[in-house]
Amino acid sequence: MTTNTLFIRILAFGAIVAIIAGLFWSQNPAFLSTGNIRALMRHMSVNGVAALGLTFVIVVRHFDLSFPGVASFGAMTMGWLIAGGQPLWMAISGGLAVGLLFGIFNGIAVARFKLPDIVTTIATGGLAIGFSYFYSNGTSISRNFFMSGLLDINDGRFLGLDRPFAILLGAALIGILILNASRFGRAFYATGENETAAWYSGVPVNAMVVAAFALCGLCACLSVVLLVASSGAANVSAGTQLLMPAFAAVYLGAALFGRPSVLATLAGTMLMSLMLNGFTLLAIPYYYSDAIVSTVLILAITCFDPRISGALRRLIPARKEKLA
Amino acid sequence: MGAESFLAMRGIDKRFGDVRALNDVDFELEAGEIHALLGVNGAGKSTLIKILSGVYSKDAGSIRIDGEEFALGSPRAAIEAGIAVVQQHPELVGDLTGAENIFLGQEHRRSGLFSPVNGQDIRRRAAALLERFPIDVDLDRAVDDMPAVDREIVAILHALRLENARILILDEPTSTLTEREKESLFEMMQTLKAQGLAIIYITHHLDEVFEIADRFTVFRGGRRVATHGVAEAQREGISIPNLMLDSVAGDIFPPRSDRVDGEVVFEARDLSRQGEFEDVSFSARKGEILGIFGLVGSGVDELSKALFGVLRPDSGELHLNGRRVRFRSPAQALKAGIFLVPGDRRTEGLSMDENVIFNTTVANLGRASLGGFMRFGRNRRDSGALAERVDLQPRKLDRPLRGYSGGNQQKVVIAKGLYREADVYIFVEPTVGVDIGARAKIYTLMRELSDRAAVIVISSDCDEVFGVADRTVALYKGAPIGAPSREITRDHLLHAGIMGEAV
């Protein structure tokens, strides 16, 4: 993508944000209040971190449906460690380790053993949910949470930003460095674009797929840490709400920016959160939000699909058509 | 106006934006004729075909078939006018039989959601079709189990399944066929011709023209340059390459090397792989090009992959710069200093949706980055310089590879190899689907590379191997016929590769 088209796409994204924000603001001026914007950024943080990890899996053209289950297991592991009196850093590391291990497991199954990604990750996700019941037979854990300092992750501030949002920005920055500025990023894209050609070019394609799944698991568990910090309790269904918004954010971003990338995912997350937050303010019942997210997901997939975008392009007369 | 041709296209114009793809083109075709369309990529032959098949609509001109005027604004109108098209890579359903593929979408004579598919009826109609066009092919086999030529025949029968088909268009039908399969396809074309069909035939292989066509038309820069009878062209010694190229091309191959004492860089000793190739030995030197000729299925493809770590040989040794090497992956071969220009650039060589810079640098990310981070400015400059060196047309570094012609895609693969700075370059089928202008450039680049690296060219095109390489050897059914030598003539090489006859 040239800098020029990137600039145009960012402008277009800004315009969409302005229109949506303007619409909600005209219905309810509280939409642009400081309080609401902070709530919005907080909401973005949880979904954004999960979507960030998923971006890598989508870039290598695979699917991970296990990360919600893995996140639940991570949440319960962390909760169990806190309740057992472990220091906070240890508890968080334990939660993240769960994500990393499941991700690596998924990646090896898919890359090395060529198992079908969708079915495999549904199964590992189910497995992770099963494991998450072990600690407390399925009851939620909140013992020691207040004393552990976990809640400060949600309430604290960093450089004037709410801490969850600062964590999202930090994770996104690392993501941009890896995926869009480093040689590993090239290898991720090359693997997804044409695995055979990438292998012939010396790219360790299996390792890239494993790394993508590992990052996805890790990010899912990081996002659930933020979620648990805001709710104050770990429960076995903590991760389930991550699935749809993460996929919607990645695909919406890819539709806006022409391909999946960290920046695109951030943009997608922001649009999703804008809409969900706006509908909440308009007092549209929460149970519609799943339907709204799903609708956006379908629209985004439609735009991202080369056949559809190709058909749209064909509607514009053959002016720029390549000479055969 | 006298006897008009069966198909008469007059004054056809077609513009795409500022580019005039067809400029006042006349084209005539007779019934019972095989007419070859020739021209480098972008010359206008594909545009003409697409107008005839209704994919593009013409800007000006008239099309008359058998004296009747047709507008041909859509594929449907073209089919109704009796024009049958076989695409370059026909899409067939692998699990279905040949007959089922031919009548795909027309299984029923009566329409209705619940009318069952009648296998017997389809077989009967297939038999009737074979009666009209007597061709030796088993249409009860699944397409996946068929050899490439039978798949091509199924695609042609699919195009001809309508009773009214009277003009058949074949777009590079031989590109995936072996020499022997080509012969069966040509037999079929003769049969169809005898039935009175008019056949338009696009090809890059000029030798095929003399073998099968009655007449040929050459396009250049959107204009029709010449139409000649094949017999007439042979009699008068008309040079088709000269017609196709703007300047008089002369020989497209660079001069041979007279260096014979270059140091041995890469050596194979008794390399074997069960059922694919056996006891292959050669040494590749700096300063010369080693050529290996073998038909599809002769083991050359597997051999090239074994040299690059894609496949592992069962026995034998590889030596690089005097040291024994074993590759377990292409990554190891690359690291050791070997670069493969693969035979199938679309699936093995390029990321088609990525741009020139991405593809040029991807095989050497270490050079393209510093401390793990991409050096964007430098990579752009390096890619630009390499694009200039390989004469990429157009030189648009941000354009995805999909937007380039076959010849220019291949130039990007070579730029990728140059960026890798390897010691050994292996070219497999380097000019399949590449027009003649780009071919000459690619051969020149191979010659330039041989100055500082060992270059091996592996191809099923005998003239290519003979023309570009200094020392040649043929592989026949997996076995090398003799040792690589400078003394082998073109005819000997051809005989060795096709019939396994030693000199």
| Position A262 in a domain | yes
CA B22/CA B56 separation, integer angstroms? 12
CA A85/CA B418 separation, integer angstroms? 60
Count the domains in chain A. Answer: 1
Q: Which one, of A176, A72, A183, lies nearest residue A134 by Cα?
A: A72
Determine the pLDDT at residue A322.
Answer: 41
The number of C-alpha atoms within 13 Å of B501 and in the hemisphere containing its C-beta is 8
Determine the pLDDT at residue A148.
Answer: 82
Contact B373 A183 (CB under 8 A): yes
Starting at the edge strand found earlier in the chain, the sheet holding B315-320 runs B277-285, B264-273, B315-320, B323-325
For the stretch B379-416, pLDDT in tens is: 999 999 999 999 998 889 998 998 888 889 999 999 99
Contact A197 B19 (CB under 8 A): no
Q: Domain of A252: which CATH number?
A: 1.10.3470
Contact B369 A183 (CB under 8 A): yes
Instruction: Give the architecture-level CATH label for domain B7-244.
Output: 3-Layer(aba) Sandwich (3.40)
User: What is the span of the domain harbouring residue A296?
Assistant: 49-302
CA B146/CA B102 separation, integer angstroms? 14
**Boundaries of every domain in chain B:** 7-244, 262-337+423-435+448-503, 350-421
Determine the pLDDT at residue B107.
Answer: 66
* Cβ contacts of B16 on chain A, cutoff 8 Å: 318-321, 323
| Position A279 in a domain | yes
CA distance to A45, A61, A265, A267, per residue, from A57 (Å): 19, 6, 12, 18
- CB-nearest to A182 from B56, B351, B372 is B372
Q: Which one, of B350, B348, B497, B341, lies nearest residue B428 by Cα?
A: B341
Name which of A183, A184, A188, A309 to mutate to probe chain B: the one with the most chain B Cβ atoms within 10 A of its Cβ: A183
For the stretch A209-230, pLDDT in tens is: 999 999 999 999 999 999 999 8
For the stretch A56-76, pLDDT in tens is: 999 999 999 999 999 999 999
CA A240/CA A229 separation, integer angstroms? 16
Q: Is B416 on the interface with A (CB under 8 A)?
A: yes
| Position A68 in a domain | yes
Q: Is B373 on the interface with A (CB under 8 A)?
A: yes
Determine the pLDDT at residue B195.
Answer: 86
Whether the domain at B7-244 and the domain at B262-337+423-435+448-503 fall into the same CATH topology:
yes
For the domain spanning B262-337+423-435+448-503, the CATH number is 3.40.50.300
Residue of B nearest to A318 (CA): B16
Q: Which helix (H) or strand (E) holds B81?
A: none
CA distance to A79, A82, A93, A264, A292, per residue, from A140 (Å): 9, 13, 20, 35, 29
Dihedrals phi, psi of A36, to nearest 5 degrees: -70, -35
Residue A319 has pLDDT above 50, yes or no: no
Find the range with the poorest average confidence among A52-66, B143-157, B487-501: B487-501
Mean of pLDDT over chain B: 86
For the stretch B37-73, pLDDT in tens is: 987 666 788 889 989 988 888 899 999 998 888 888 8
| Position A322 in a domain | no
For the stretch B148-197, pLDDT in tens is: 888 888 888 888 888 888 999 998 887 677 777 888 889 888 988 988 89
**SS3 call for B143:** helix
| Position A4 in a domain | no
Other Cβ atoms closer than 10 A to B347: 14
* Cβ contacts of B361 on chain A, cutoff 8 Å: 186
**In this prediction, what percent of chain A has a pLDDT beyond 90?**
54
For the stretch B409-464, pLDDT in tens is: 999 999 999 999 999 999 999 988 787 788 889 999 999 999 989 999 999 888 88
Q: Label residue B348 by pLDDT band (50, 70, 90).
A: very high
| Position A84 in a domain | yes
* Cβ contacts of B363 on chain A, cutoff 8 Å: 201-202
Q: Is B353 on the interface with A (CB under 8 A)?
A: yes
* Cβ contacts of A186 on chain B, cutoff 8 Å: 358, 361-362, 365, 368, 374
Name which of B14, B15, B16, B420 to mutate to probe chain A: the one with the most chain A Cβ atoms within 10 A of its Cβ: B16
Residue B1 has pLDDT above 50, yes or no: no
Average pLDDT estimate for A251-258: 87
Residue of A nearest to B331 (CA): A202
CA B225/CA B217 separation, integer angstroms? 7
Q: Is A319 on the interface with B (CB under 8 A)?
A: yes
